Structure 1
Amino acid sequence: MSVLTPELLERIRERAPGYDRENRFFDEDLTELRDAGYLRPRSLAECVADQRLLAAYAPATALAINMHLVVVGIARTLSERGIPDLDWVLADAEAGELFAFGNSEPGNDLVMWDSLTTAERVETPVAGYAFTGTKIFTSLAPAWTRLIVFGKQADGPDGPRLVHGILTRDDAGVTTLDDWDTLGMRATQSRTTTLDHAVVPDARIVRFLPVGPNADPFIFALFANFLTLIAAVYAGIADRALELAVEAVRRRTGLKNAGASYALDPDIRWRVADAALALDALAPQLDAVARDVDEKADRGARWFRDLTGLKHRATETAREVVDQAMRLAGGGGYRSSSELVRLQRDVLAGIYHPSDTESVHATVAANLLGPLP
């Protein structure tokens, strides 16, 4: 059973406009969600259903919480496949630690296949790897206690390779900038993080991977959780946009139809139905992918095609539905205080999350036609 009670969700919705207006982190939401047990490890299907619901009430809160759920989800997905390497992450999450993502880098369009951050082997003050570089879009920046990062070890007998590890808030060499002032998703406070010889001890190194694409279980777990949960958030935004559009259409009247409700206008009805049809097509794909990850279904070489395709469909569909809702709401929906305006700004963030449109199409083409020479 979900811990997202109607009362909790309404309080979260009431706070969302203030967070957005003040460009402020969602401290109160986080406290309530943590106290309710929302951050504890659960199945991907459960997280997807809850995140879709939460996003309909507060998109930025849901998007930021996603990052914690993704890291915990990676550990859970590996554990369910008999790989216990990150079981300690599950224990940390149960104990109340908050995980964040520190992977994105300015100028790194290869995303997880290479890194501009350096990872240097060190033996003092502890044996581990020192990370130096800049990470962007670090959601949960004001509150995380654990940050997953990666960098490239270029030299030594094992290089070049990618080193993945988890920093703690107390580790030296980690600086969070106060530089988050964006069009939408403002409450995420996804600030820039700089790493200056920030050492991750060997015990918190989670993976060594080759540079370039690979099918390591860690990468599968990362893509499966990140892309599916991102899709859930944008589906939730579309859910709320459609709901607001229906409310607006029922409320609006005009001279065109002698004062009759817009809900009786054939053109308006077609537009509402068009938005609903687009959104209806998304749910089966989202639910099936989450279920198949949990049930360890074997989709073989289709997995990355299906995961990236799901994210692409969800973010693009959400943009279409919000756009339809803006048209249906009329001029009143264009006011800066309108919830739809905030959804319009928030939904645009979907185009910036990996995998981008070009990468998605390249992945699908490679699945169908084989890799480029």
Structure 2
Amino acid sequence: MFFKTEEQNQRYEEIGQLADQFSKRAQLHDLEATFPIENINDLKKIGYTTLTLPKEFGGKGASLYEFILLHERLAQGCGPTALSIGWHVGIILDLATNRPWTKVKYAAIMEKVKENALLNRAATEAQTGSPTRGGKPQTMAVKDGEHWRVNGRKTFTTMAPALDFFLVSATIDGSEEVGEFIVPRDTPGVRIEETWDSIAMRATESHDLILENVKVEEDHLLEMVSSRPRHRANGWLLHIPACYLGIAQAASNYAIEFASSYQPNSLTHPIIKLPNLQRQIGEMELKLKHSRHFLLSVAEKWDELEDKTVTIPDLAAVKHVVTNSAIEVVDQAMRVVGARSLSEKSPLQRYYRDVRAGLHNPPMDDATIQTLAQSAIQRSSISTT
């Protein structure tokens, strides 16, 4: 495997044991579209929610490399669980890297995280689409003395049933500025509207967050989103391709297991001995290896480089390559299993639906291609001057 330390190996085994348990629960949660809260509680018990929390605040201080290594294994057990908790663990890494808040506020929130509080950003809105496209939030924040009053609706609030804090982007009334506010779940006027009806990642319960005249303290305005660097190397977003790679690995594992045991009466041996199936298995393995090496090498590069912005094209490329390859692997696994893969009892139909969601997580494929084109043009211009 890709372990650098014995500690990573031990954590990987621990995550693997949980992932195997989660896989037994995944089908029911998908059928009922229920959030796997027991999985999240199990992850809290082993300290996974504090994996990237800096050691100075009582966390494990894991690198992006280790986070991605463990996260892929977690996703092999339950994709929705991995995608959900990945936002929390990734954002904690982002905050640890950039330290955008005041020291006092950062320390106060990290203390809550140490106690297993969960947070996620609530940035997407129906009228603006993905925040990566640059749309201005219709959620508004109005100054009211020493407080702010926030009103709006956020969509795709992943892990909504379990979150303790929401990081809400809102336009500052009377200005063009966009701020990010921290809103505790128990604040009056905060509620979750159960709107999640997606056929993919059903168990993430990514419902709408409703903010109705929500009053928060003045210092709950954490930072101005519009003041962030336009081009920011968001290495933590690699949890997204890691999740879909894990789902693809699970699909491949299932296909191999099926082919090893299925023997029609027209054959004297299981179908896994057929050259055509072995070719398909080999092709799946090639895609998985390619994706895993690319993913982990870029994560390692991000960890090591002081100027992380140089990794922006690589980060975008990884998400594109890994996610699209994962879709191909799941499709190929279904071809190995055949029509039985479409049975409601088969995990492959769930993997197929879940892995497609990766196309709609940031960065989008068209934006990635544009980023790579600009990078190549700039590099070419420099080399010819």
TM-score (norm 2): 0.85
Match of 2:67 in 1: 47
Equivalence for 1:139: 158
2:201 to 171, 185, 193: 185
Q: What's the CA shift for 1:11?
A: 2.3
Q: Distance in 2 between matches of 1:36 and 1:110?
A: 33
- Post-superposition Cα deviations, 1:74-130, rounded to whole Å, max 9, x if no partner, equal 111124x99957344432211221112211111324614332234434133x43x43
Task: Give the AA of the match of 1:242.
Answer: S
Following superposition, the deviation at residue 316 of structure 1 comes to 0.6
- Does 2:187 correspond to 1:171? yes
- Counterparts of 1:1-373 in structure 2, within 5 Å, are 1=7, 2=11, 4-40=14-50, 41=53, 42-43=61-62, 44-79=64-99, 86-109=106-129, 111-112=131-132, 113-124=134-145, 126-127=146-147, 129-153=148-172, 155=174, 159-210=175-226, 214-215=230-231, 219-220=232-233, 223-226=234-237, 228-254=238-264, 258-298=267-307, 300=309, 302-369=310-377
Identity of aligned residues (%): 25
Q: Contact 2:124 / 2:130 at 8 angstroms: preserved in 1?
A: no
Instruction: Name the counterpart of 2:382.
Output: none
Question: Letter of the aligned partner of 1:224 in structure 2?
Answer: G
Deviation at 1:272, TM superposition (A): 1.0
> Residue 147 of structure 1 aligns to a residue in which SS?
strand
Q: Distance in 2 between matches of 1:247 and 1:279?
A: 17
Q: Deviations over 1:256-279 (max 9, x none)?
A: 6x4333222222111111111111
Q: Deviations over 1:36-72 (max 9, x none)?
A: 2110124222221121011000111111111111221
CA, structure 1 residues 315+5, in 2 after alignment: closer, same or farther (shift >3 Å)? Answer: closer
Question: Partners in 2 of 1:68 and 1:110 — Cα distance?
Answer: 18
Report if aligned partners of 1:115, 1:150 keep a CA contact under 8 Å in 2: no
CA separation in 1, counterparts of 2:17 and 2:139?
46
Deviations for 1:179-224, whole angstroms, at most 9, x for unmatched residues?
2222121111110112233344332322214389713xxx43xx22
Cα displacement string for residues 233-262 of structure 1 (whole angstroms, at most 9, x for unaligned residues): 011111111111111222233466x43332
Structure-2 change in CA distance of 1:252 and 1:297 (3 Å): farther
- Superposed CA deviations along residues 286-327 of structure 1, whole A, max 9, x for unmatched, are 112222333344354x42211121111121111000000000
What CA distance in whole angstroms lies between the structure 1 residues aligned with 2:101 and 2:197? Answer: 42
Once the two structures are overlaid, the 10-residue window that deviates more, 341-350 or 288-297, is 288-297
After superposition, the CA RMSD in angstroms is 2.5
Write the distance in 2 (CA, Å) between the matches of 1:260 and 1:229: 40
Q: Distance in 1 between matches of 2:79 and 2:225?
A: 33
Give the whole-Å Cα distance in 1 for the aligned partners of 2:102 and 2:368.
Answer: 28
Q: Distance in 2 between matches of 1:132 and 1:145?
A: 19
TM-score by length of 1: 0.88
Note the alpha carbon deviations across 1:317-372, whole angstroms, 9 max, x for none.
110000000000122222111011111111111111121111111221222235xx
| Structure 2 segments unaligned to the other structure (5+ residues) | 1-6, 54-60, 379-385
What count of residue pairs does the alignment treat as equivalent? Answer: 357
Alpha-carbon distance between aligned partners in 2 of 1:72 and 1:168, rounded to the nearest angstrom: 16
**Quick check: 1:231–1:310 contact (8 Å CA) kept in 2?**
yes
Q: Which runs of 5+ in 1 are unaligned?
A: none
* Distance (Å, rounded) in 1 between the aligned partners of 2:185 and 2:129: 27
Would the alpha carbon gap of residues 196 and 13 (structure 1) be closer, same or farther in structure 2, given more than 3 Å must change? same
8 Å contact 1:104–1:135 — kept in the other structure?
yes
CA contact (8 A) 1:234 1:350 kept: yes
Distance in 2 (CA, whole Å) between partners of 1:199 and 1:285 is 45
Counterpart of 1:143, as a letter, is: A
Cα contact 1:77–1:294 (8 A) shared by 2: no
- SS of 1:210's equivalent? helix
**Cα distance between partner residues in 2 of 1:109 and 1:340:** 30
Give yes or no for contact 2:272–2:278 (8 Å, CA) kept in 1: yes
Q: Which amino acid aligns with 1:120?
A: A
